[in-house]
Chain A
């Protein structure tokens, strides 16, 4: 194997993300792609909170980008929303894996300056990662397809009869 597998790449996201959380002292952080899919996360304890945040953040990013284009800018700077107790930072960047976004939530134990500083460091670490190719795998497509029908049956049976 001369090229790294996707699991190695995603493991590779975890380490810099953890360093970012530690150094900038934020509470939650999630790395997502443009479609709002989660590549790595830190601090969320419920899967569904995580995907909700990810989908909304991807929505903000997409509309901010489209708005920028309409106004003749390629993109806007990072987004920062501040409430009395909690603040949200949304930083986007290009990587070998396409456009990605870091969404992070912090409180008075950190600051926007700190977050931005360590975000830049995080991005430069990720830039060194090899390109992500989701089409390569170690799973048999045949096995997967064979199991598909029974898994769908199981899921939908409960819903329709229940």
Chain B
């Protein structure tokens, strides 16, 4: 749930980068971290194993600036992709306002992509969230590699809900900000609809 602090006029939203192991989630955050000026970001925290694999999560706080007088911040998280880390993956997903699903476009990785997408559905459901209630963006990563499926093929396999999607080569930085922008927009638009609820009427509205 996005946190709106009316006293300090701050909005904080949590976006989780999800996907199979080695699809490029950490690389997305590293690129973002390398491009955002220092006064708009905090330290990138990586809880990783020696082999550089995400063990618990990576974390990167960002400040987008002012919207309607509110300082708007994002907390970007990645999850560990390997199947056996499901318990920690579930924990990181807790309280997410939006999800970026980073798929690996390589043909050899399609099964892992599909399995991870299914796992996302399940883990969201365990937190009581239907995937249709939360902004999800798909990123087709590693477009620079030779043995990849076409975007059309990947859309067909993964994007049956027709959510926004972006091709990317995170290692080169391509598509990284398109993806983040799309996710930010999804999350903040959803928040705007909640702000619409008149004062004193806590109920109402879908989701």
Contact = CB atoms under 8 A, between A and B. Distances in A.
The yes or no verdict on A and B being binding partners is: yes
A145 B66 contact: no
Interface stretch (B1-9, B18-26, B104-112, B134-142): B1-9
A136 B177 contact: no
B42 A52 contact: yes
Contacts, number: 158
Given A63-B88, A147-B67, A138 B61 contact: no
State which size class the interface on B falls in. 35 or more
Contact of B94 (A62, A145, A149): A62
Majority SS at the chain B contact face: mixed
A112 interface: no
A52 B6 contact: no
B189 A136 contact: no
Interface stretch (B115-123, B143-151, B163-171, B191-199): B191-199
Interface residues of A, number: 52
A78 B74 CA distance: 28
Interface in A103-123: none
A144 to B, nearest CB: 5
Nearest to B96: A35
A1 interface: yes
Nearest to A32: B3
Contacts of B91: 59, 62-63, 66
Interface stretch (A3-11, A22-30, A82-90): A3-11
A95 interface: no
Contact of A56 (B45, B66, B201, B202): B45
Contacts of B94: 34-35, 62
Given A137-B194, A138-B199, 10 more contacts: A35-B1, A35-B14, A38-B12, A63-B88, A142-B196, A144-B191, A144-B195, A145-B192, A154-B65, A159-B36
17 contacts: A7-B7, A10-B8, A35-B3, A52-B45, A52-B59, A59-B56, A62-B94, A135-B202, A135-B205, A136-B199, A137-B195, A143-B68, A144-B191, A148-B189, A152-B181, A154-B65, A156-B181
Interface of A: 1-3, 5-7, 10-11, 14, 33-39, 47-49, 51-52, 55-56, 59, 62-63, 66, 133-145, 147-149, 151-152, 154-156, 158-160, 162
